[in-house]
Structure 1
């Protein structure tokens, strides 16, 4: 089977396609023939900045072809999606049963990859802010896979005003179509009237203006892998707070919450409250092109690899 890996850290050009044996599912694992593989910013950053090569993990969706010992909830022929922590950039990937969920008949596997992980992160980050009816909400990286769904969550959750923060003006039409009432650019001197909630998927240097955008008693939820530093004085003068959110902690420590959110996510997709956005479907062997799109912030929604 074909798989993509890298031997040294660097830009997208370090990604290599290779032929490798088909892996065997171990206890609790599913062997999935992948039909869609999500490309995420954290994985792109690992390739660029990591100290040593690691398997290219990520969201996968496809059809189960074999199951390992002890698997009870799935069988060969089932369509599933989930987060693969080993080699996801592959024609066949191993997915642990606890991280897998069924794909409804009404959805495609590409839709599943665009919706599930990004939607769970968007939902969790928004809920971590303890939103109140009538709150004004600002979403950074609003044109990304997670950000585009966070906009929709805020709109459906009763926000009085939804502000999309994006890197360039050519993304304005896209985010307005998803419910943004206002659009600001990262480099703008002001991000307009203060907001009650900031959902931040960028981090780094953007944390400063994100905190300054908060109204008194505002809440910023940070879920980006970009890190960054926050000026405590800026929080003090606003009586504001910063909340960290990590989806893996929910999946690991609160499986009942994870399952409930997953069920609600598919219901919101069914009634069209949430519309996952797919920017590009790119052949697996052209994974470098997918990483280039993410690094250049050129995507409007999800970038998906298809074997």
Structure 2
């Protein structure tokens, strides 16, 4: 008997988006504790193009070693079509979504993928698969930063830099849900109506005014941009405040410590349990999903090219099933 196959996107050589090749590959088989998912949509995230480039943005001694070829992607939404030994919580036909095997290797850019059962949650009934695939990594990052690590509660001012993007637009909403007294969104002007519609109390267009010139006494700042100029936010913070970096940046940590500002950042991880909490917020109408663009799986290279141009409003998603 021949091996079952599927269509997937693979990277055969590190480099530009053109290295994403749409081709026929063997279909995976779920192992113990895993399920097989018929992927309907896959989210596109920064770690996907970091992997495609061979993690060139990471110091060589710290780079993950991913043998070629590989199928990128970790955000999925789809339907379970098979279960491995020991799986009792899921069965064929269940609609699920999840951040699969992160941090680590997954294979979401494909018609089928396997996932540990514990990394999945039931897809929100309020969302289609395309919208659901935009949720896992970005929303889990926002949730883990704000709820698990920073433990945001009622009161206080939260500022989100890069608020229009995937992580940012979820941070704005989750800060509001947590009870922040004021949520300040920083993005380019085209995102103003979008972010105010998500609950931002104040909007700052960084293309027109420097944030550090117009904002003070921030309790928690989520920087979803990073980069060499992150330290410009120090005057924005109150003493005792927390600056949380989603991406690497230069924050002049010694100066921050002198000012009584804690600077930290964390790696998002897979959690079906936390995704179930987020799904409940979505189904209750309290958490919305922004989609910047949708591409067919065969056009993954175009999706990556768009994503790397930046200035997204929400997420980019690959549609696998029409």
Using structure 2 for the length normalisation, give the TM-score: 0.84
How far apart in 2 are the matches of 1:222 and 1:296? 21
Query: Counterpart of 2:285 in 1: which secondary structure?
Result: coil
What is the aligned partner in structure 1 of residue 120 from structure 2?
A: 100
What is the aligned partner in structure 1 of residue 29 from structure 2?
A: 24
Give matches, 1:127-146, under 5 Å. Answer: 127=147, 128-146=149-167
- For each residue in 1:28-63, what CA deviation from the matched residue of structure 2 results, as whole angstroms up to 9, or x when unmatched? 221111111000012122223525655413110101
What is the aligned partner in structure 2 of residue 254 from structure 1?
A: none
How far apart in 2 are the matches of 1:184 and 1:134? 24
Alpha-carbon contact 1:277-1:301 (below 8 Å) kept: yes
Deviates more, 1:30-39 or 1:137-146: 137-146
How far apart in 1 are the matches of 2:106 and 2:34? 12
How far apart in 2 are the matches of 1:108 and 1:175? 22
Of 190, 195, 217, 1:175 maps to 195
Residue 100 of structure 1 deviates from its aligned partner by 1.5
Alpha-carbon contact 1:57-1:83 (below 8 Å) kept: no
Structure 2, unpaired ranges of 5+: 1-5, 57-65
| Residues 235/13 of structure 1: CA separation in 2 closer, same or farther (3 Å cut) | same
- For each residue in 1:182-203, what CA deviation from the matched residue of structure 2 results, as whole angstroms up to 9, or x when unmatched? 2231784343222111112222
Residue 132 of structure 1 deviates from its aligned partner by 4.4
Of 208, 212, 223, 2:231 maps to 208
Of 59, 67, 79, 2:83 maps to 67
**TM superposition outliers: structure 1 runs of 4+ over 6 Å:** none
What is the aligned partner in structure 1 of residue 219 from structure 2?
A: 196
What is the aligned partner in structure 2 of residue 218 from structure 1?
A: 241
What is the aligned length?
Answer: 296
Matched, 1:162 2:183: yes
How far apart in 1 are the matches of 2:284 and 2:87? 32
Residue 11 of structure 1 deviates from its aligned partner by 2.1
Of 47, 50, 62, 1:45 maps to 50
How far apart in 2 are the matches of 1:190 and 1:22? 50
Using structure 1 for the length normalisation, give the TM-score: 0.88
Please give the root-mean-square deviation of Cα atoms over the aligned residues, in Å.
2.2
